[in-house]
């Protein structure tokens, strides 16, 4: 296993196999397990059948579990921009955090400071587009809500490591009806099998202060602008 200077220790997980796709994505999760040793035990337990490439503790310790060359088992049943085997196409990072089930709260500064250089190195090494740095809820909206509405996506975007929420809008209310909005969500990359869940995932990422699960003019303007910028090649 190749280990970078950003890794503090290695705890190998047996839960991995060969990739079937080139790496094109990075998926951020939270563990929803405390203390961190509980999450580490599960991610390295053969019987559990789950893993990730990295686990970052709240104190900022970076633990590598699976080689980036291997397919870690972090995303489960998931989909993003036409890719159904997200595990094969992605690097998975777990953040030590109690999650929504354990008293949801903000993320620790030391953890974020450890995350930034790790993400920067990964996206550079694998040429991952900002549009493909996503949360677990983005790729599995029917099942997952992590890393949740308090994850500091905007701060991460300041380092140009993910997309930022658009500040200016070309269209104030661009979609004629809810169905048009949901189809646009699919075009952007989401699994729209359950429309309300897909909308909630979009809100959690792009309008975290208000999650209602139904389209409105503000959400439409955000989605339209994201699609426009991507089509213009400004969202790489």
d(Cα 210, Cα 68) in Å, to the nearest integer? 35
State yes or no: is 94 an active-site residue.
Answer: yes
Catalytic: which of 94, 149, 200, 203? 94
Q: Is 158 left (phi over 0), alpha (psi -120 to 50) or beta?
A: alpha
Nearest to 225 by CA among 188, 200, 195: 188
Rounded to an integer, what is the distance from CA 10 to the centroid of its chain? 22
How far apart are alpha carbons 34 and 44 in whole angstroms?
15
* CA 126 from centroid of its chain's CA atoms: 16
CA distance 85 to 18: 12
Asked, as a colleague might, if the bond just before 78 is cis with ω within 30 of 0, I would say no
Beta bridge partners of 135: 28
Q: Which residues are catalytic?
A: 94
């Amino acid at each position: 296993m190749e280990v970078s200077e950003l890794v503090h220790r290695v705890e190998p997980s047996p839960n991995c196999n060969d990739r079937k796709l080139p790496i094109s994505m990075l998926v951020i999760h939270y563990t929803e397990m405390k203390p961190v040793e509980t999450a580490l035990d599960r991610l390295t337990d053969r019987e559990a059948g789950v893993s990730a490439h990295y686990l970052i503790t709240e104190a900022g310790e970076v633990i590598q579990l699976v080689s980036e060359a291997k397919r870690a088992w972090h995303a489960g049943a998931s989909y993003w921009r036409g890719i159904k085997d997200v595990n094969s196409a992605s690097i998975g990072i777990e953040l030590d955090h109690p999650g929504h089930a354990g008293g949801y709260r903000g993320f620790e500064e030391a953890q974020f400071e450890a995350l930034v250089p790790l993400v920067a190195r990964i996206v550079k090494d694998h040429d991952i587009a900002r549009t493909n740095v996503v949360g677990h809820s983005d790729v599995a909206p029917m099942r997952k809500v992590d890393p949740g509405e308090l994850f500091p996506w905007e701060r991460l975007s300041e380092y140009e490591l993910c997309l930022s929420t658009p500040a200016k809008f070309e269209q104030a209310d661009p979609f004629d009806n809810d169905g048009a909005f949901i189809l646009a969500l699919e075009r952007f990359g989401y699994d729209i099998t359950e429309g309300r869940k897909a909308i909630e995932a979009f809100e959690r990422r792009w309008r975290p202060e208000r999650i209602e699960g139904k389209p409105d003019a503000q959400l439409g303007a955000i989605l339209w602008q994201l699609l426009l910028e991507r089509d213009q090649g400004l969202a790489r």
